[in-house]
Structure 1
């Protein structure tokens, strides 16, 4: 799959050796979330970034030794976000609601602060929630 970046050049992304190996295995390599889809392709780099951010935060939360009251809420919402990312077309208001619940549940845990920030940045890639 080819993507165009800010320069408008087409490319496969990644380093040449790594990218070639991933493409040979059928994987997609994205250099930047700023890249846009080329017409006719299926992958949305925003969804890929959301998936990565959710996965990282889930791993960080699982590895965090401390217990806190709303840990279950955070785990449930991260599972919901993972499902939306896997489906490929997340609902923006639902993304934002989950982000708020996660931030409220684990935002005060300093060890998870970077992961929450990365998740917020990934959700922000989808733009503002439509008001109705």
Structure 2
């Protein structure tokens, strides 16, 4: 299977799960729980929930794309950034996404 630039297989070969994937899975699960339990209803809550589902699905599939993970993180931060009670869990997701590294630079043609 060919992978595009920015894709990294995150499941181990017989040795278990990639620790970065485990960290991201745990961070996403925490933020999903805290978001679900947060009493305030805000207009972009659905966006945050959808993008958390995207991150969870990418990790479950074992092939997260760094550019797509960063886009999801940006959308989540924009959607819940003003809800200070969710900031620690959001920062945990950000730290977990950062474990995968930077987006490779685009080649100029």
| TM-score grouping bracket, smaller chain normalisation | 0.7 to 0.9
Task: Map 1:61-100; keep pairs closer than 5 Å.
Answer: 61-100=35-74
d(CA) in 1 for partners of 2:69, 2:40 = 26
d(CA) in 2 for partners of 1:52, 1:87 = 15
Give the TM-score normalised by the residue count of structure 1. 0.69
What is the RMSD computed on CA atoms of the aligned residues?
1.6
Question: Where does residue 123 of structure 1 map in the other structure?
Answer: 97
Moved segments of 4+, more than 4 Å: 37-40
Structure 2: segments with no counterpart, 5+ residues: 1-10
Higher RCO, Cα 8 Å, sep 6+: 2
Question: Where does residue 43 of structure 1 map in the other structure?
Answer: 17
Q: Deviations over 1:1-55 (max 9, x none)?
A: xxxxxxxxxxxxxxxxxxxxxxxxxxxxxxxxxxxx9875241000010000000
Structure 1: segments with no counterpart, 5+ residues: 1-36
Flag the 1:64–1:38 CA change in 2: closer, same or farther, 3 A: closer
- The 8 Å contact of residues 71 and 105 in structure 1, kept in 2 or not, is answered as yes
Question: Where does residue 8 of structure 1 map in the other structure?
Answer: none
- The 8 Å contact of residues 57 and 115 in structure 1, kept in 2 or not, is answered as yes
